[in-house]
Amino acid sequence: MNLPLAITLGDPAGIGPEIIAKAFLQAPDDMAGCFVAGDVALLRRACHVVAPDVALPVVAIDTPDEALAAPPRCVPVLQVLQVLERAEPVPFGQVSALAGRLAGESVVWAARAALRGEVAGMVTAPLHKEALSAAGAPFSAFPGHTELLQAEAARHLGLPVAQLPVRMMLANDELRTVLVSIHVSLREAMEMVTSGNILDTLRIAHRSVGAALQRPPRIAVAGLNPHAGEGGLFGREEIEHIAPAVAAARAEGIDARGPFAPDTVFMRARHAPPAHPGEFDVVVAMYHDQGLIPVKYLGVEQGVNVTLGLPFVRTSPDHGTAFDIAGTGRADAASLLAAVRMARRLTGAADSRRHQ
């Protein structure tokens, strides 16, 4: 790569620093050219947890490009967090405002570096939404990574947030889903099932997934109601909002089909060759759990969260902070490594488009 990948610290009370350390230890080829935007002391603590008897040095770097020359099984860390005087380290497994602020600050730094063109993209280790809220302003205004990154990108571009729609995609080797709504209550999510929101989602999925595949994607659209409303018997959202959005997208040349019954569309899209080649490349789901449960059921360890619509690449593991095992060294780095590989593919696709 011409530019390094930034990996954010995550909530230091959770498993984020540990899976980062384990990834550098177990997969040096995958982690070549990556660095941690975070805190040197917290990464050293994590390295001691996951490899107490193995030399896994943490090296402080001053600029992102220094990560490109780092030797294998060495963790380059750029100290982007304020070094705070505290009586004891951030404790494992506890929600705290300090941990939330450390996680939030590393995300903001990496986003701004990506917007300045200093890094190829960013991979975010898990943060804890309650801790982020406890950290206070500005972090308490955002329910998670997606909304925080959207706000940073909009500010950089001089746009109102509403003019930079972003969507969450969860993907593994067998299934991709893109969500119309993200971190809102189920009641609010139902209110967001509008033709405009669905059409925006279809446009973003068409553009972003198509760029990764290097061809127009086949998009399935899930209904909101059982049996996709059964002709209005179980709800009219499919008739009044979803089908019109699909028709509008098709008029723009987008290969969108549906709405399909949400209890079968994910099985139809699942790509598990040779016995089961998927009918679709991606499913647009109406709300968070509708789209995420099928992907996570296929294996959390391989799932990757991708934010679509940002002017830079952002991926993350498909799991949370796992406070219950933080500090034990038992956390699995597989999903983080999948997120790193996905980020490399997406940044490579972006480079190809720029040079065409």
Task: Render pLDDT for 98-117 as a digit per residue (tens, 0 to 9).
Answer: 999 999 999 999 999 999 99
The residue to which tokens 């723009």 are assigned: 252
Identify the CATH number of the domain defined by range 1-164.
3.40.718.10
Average pLDDT of every residue of the chain: 91
pLDDT band at 87 (very low <50, low <70, confident <90, very high): very low
Average pLDDT over residues 297-303: 76
The residue to which tokens 């490594």 are assigned: 337
SS3 120: coil
Res 88 pLDDT > 90: no
Res 215 pLDDT > 60: yes
Average pLDDT over residues 199-228: 94
Q: Quick one: pLDDT at residue 133?
A: 94
C-alpha atoms less than 13 angstroms from C-alpha of 16 in its C-beta half-sphere: 29
Any idea of the CA torsion for 308, 312, 317, 321, to the nearest 10 degrees? Answer: -100
Q: Crossing angle for the helix pair 243-251 and 195-213, nearest 10 degrees?
A: 50
Task: Render pLDDT for 249-287 as a digit per residue (tens, 0 to 9).
Answer: 999 999 999 999 999 999 999 998 887 889 999 999 999
DSSP assignment string, 146-182: HHHHHHHHHHHHT--GGGS--EEEEE-SS-EEEES--
Q: What are the structural domain ranges in the chain?
A: 1-164
